[in-house]
Chain A
Amino acid sequence: AQSVTQPDIHITVSEGASLELRCNYSYGATPYLFWYVQSPGQGLQLLLKYFSGDTLVQGIKGFEAEFKRSQSSFNLRKPSVHWSDAAEYFCAVGASGGGADGLTFGKGTHLIIQP
């Protein structure tokens, strides 16, 4: 069965500092990987995705993520965070972008930005 682990429940970062959110997955085949962001009381917005090809993917809002097959990881990074980045971040894995089976999500990482 597929699973996603986000080991950090909360992360606090100073505004302007760099950010890395960790994600590890377990999947029997080539995974399709996603990062979503959820602002308080809102739905989920897709930040970026990896299907194949270049293992470093660029997303919206200045985020990027690197797929490392050997480590079963798909960590999210941003060089310099802004106060508006405070939100809940979810990593997800799926068979084909959701396909017919939906996505499996991690439990999320709550990002707090200090002034």
Chain B
Amino acid sequence: SQTIHQWPATLVQPVGSPLSLECTVEGTSNPNLYWYRQAAGRGLQLLFYSVGIGQISSEVPQNLSASRPQDRQFILSSKKLLLSDSGFYLCAWTTGTNQYFGAGTRLSVL
């Protein structure tokens, strides 16, 4: 069966520090992969999606970037975190009709 791993679960980082969140999918190949952010009191906002290795589409201009170095690995990064980057980050994947989500990473930038 397919599973999605996302880590770390919780992260506290100072303003200006770098960020790297990783997401991996098991049990499937060539999935579409997504990063969403859920800010306090808001819904989910699609940040990036990828349809293949090295292919990244950005939905919202921001302080973040994404990379897909392997078929089932999706990484969210930042060189310098801002206070506004705080939120709950969710990785998701799909190979067809359903979209499945990881457990999320709660990022607090202080």
Contacts and interface: CB of A to CB of B under 8 A. Distances in A.
Interface string B11-43: 000000000000000000000101010000111
Contacts of B2: none
B75 to A, nearest CB: 17
B98 A97 contact: yes
Contacts of B51: 100
Contact of A44 (B42, B45, B101): B101
A49 B98 contact: yes
Contact of A42 (B34, B36, B43, B104): B104
B43 A90 contact: yes
Q: Is the interface of A mostly helix, strand, loop or mixed?
A: loop
Interface stretch (A12-20, A66-74, A79-87, A103-111): A103-111
Contact of B100 (A42, A46, A108): A46
B72 interface: no
Give the size category of A's interface with B: 20 to 34
B42 A98 contact: no
Contacts of A63: none
Interface string A12-34: 00000000000000000000101
Interface string B82-99: 000000001010101111
Contact of A106 (B43, B100, B101): B43
Interface in B21-77: 32, 34, 36, 41-46, 49, 51, 57, 59
B97 A46 contact: no
A105 B90 CA distance: 13
The 4 tightest CB contacts between A and B, nearest first, are A97-B97, A98-B99, A107-B43, A98-B94
9 contacts: A4-B43, A43-B6, A43-B103, A97-B96, A97-B98, A97-B99, A100-B32, A103-B44, A105-B43
Interface of A: 4, 6, 32, 34, 36, 41-46, 49, 51, 90, 92, 94, 96-108
